[in-house]
Chains A and B, each alone.
Chain A
Amino acid sequence: MTRIPRLLEGWTVLIVDDEVDSLEVARRLITMAGAQTLTADSGRSALELLKHTSPHFILSDLSMPDMDGWELAHLLKRDRRTLEIPVIALTAHAMSGDRDRAIAAGFHNHIAKPLDPLKFVGQLLNILVDVPNLADMIINVDERR
């Protein structure tokens, strides 16, 4: 029985979410798609991890104790080392205007929660294909298939 296609083989992804169930669904899907995953339960923990690692992209919940996703995105965009890492917001409610607010705050895009396991990796690729460096990786995967 095949699982979802391993379209993220060779990628490293940081997932930041304080809700264990939600983080676990995202982690399992991204792992099934072939990527290495790093996880953090707050913006502050994510910043600690980012001192030593440089993921291809970050998925971050918005509402978290300690340091929320908004502040995390803000700080990442102020740091030359992390400025270029795309950060995708995981929004709890698919409110109209969430996407615009998230992009204005420095997020590359957003995905609504709860995640749909059958669409999630496709949603990610659709979002990441307009990031030049990552688009090349996605195209290379398509060519390998």
Chain B
Amino acid sequence: MDVMPILVVEDEPDGQELIARLLAQVNVTVEVVGNAEDAWTMLNVKPYRGAIIDLALPGKDGFELLRAIRADTDLRALPCVAITAFHTPELKQQALQETFDAYFAKPLDRTRFLGELDRIFAHLI
């Protein structure tokens, strides 16, 4: 079966590589873009299983991307996961209030991260 990829929106090359490697371990394909504008283009031309979005992106941030997704008739149900290197309890609360499906602080805890993705993306592993 042709399984749709997950879109990773992350500007840091180390972060891109880490997520791609983690998901490759469970045979999940990812496509990576470095900013919200490119993510928006990709989401509008191809189907994705979901998106993993860094909150601090150059230009438009992860929250702006999420709002655009939730406001779009075709994309609003897309599972979206927030990741951040600037964790605070307030930021986590904001991310979940703005309807991210999950929130993870970096460095990512591999077991918890993959476990949650498995739940959100309906049986990833």
Contact = CB atoms under 8 A, between A and B. Distances in A.
Interface stretch (A1-9, A79-87, A100-108, A131-139): A1-9
Contact of A118 (B41, B60, B64): B41
A3 B33 CA distance: 14
Interface residues of A, number: 11
What are the 7 A-B residue pairs with the smallest beta carbon separation, nearest first? Answer: A1-B68, A28-B45, A1-B40, A117-B45, A25-B45, A118-B38, A117-B41
Interface string A1-30: 111100000000000000000001100110
Interface string A22-57: 001100110010000000000000000000000000
A3 B46 contact: no
Nearest to A4: B41
A2 B37 contact: yes
12 contacts: A1-B64, A1-B65, A1-B68, A2-B37, A2-B40, A3-B40, A3-B41, A24-B45, A28-B45, A29-B41, A117-B45, A117-B46
A25 B40 contact: no
Interface residues of B, number: 14
> B33, B46, B60, B64: which has the most chain A beta carbons within 10 Å?
B46
A118 B33 contact: yes
> A1, A32, A117: which has the most chain B beta carbons within 10 Å?
A1
Contacts of B33: 118
Interface in B42-63: 42, 44-46, 60
A1 B42 contact: no
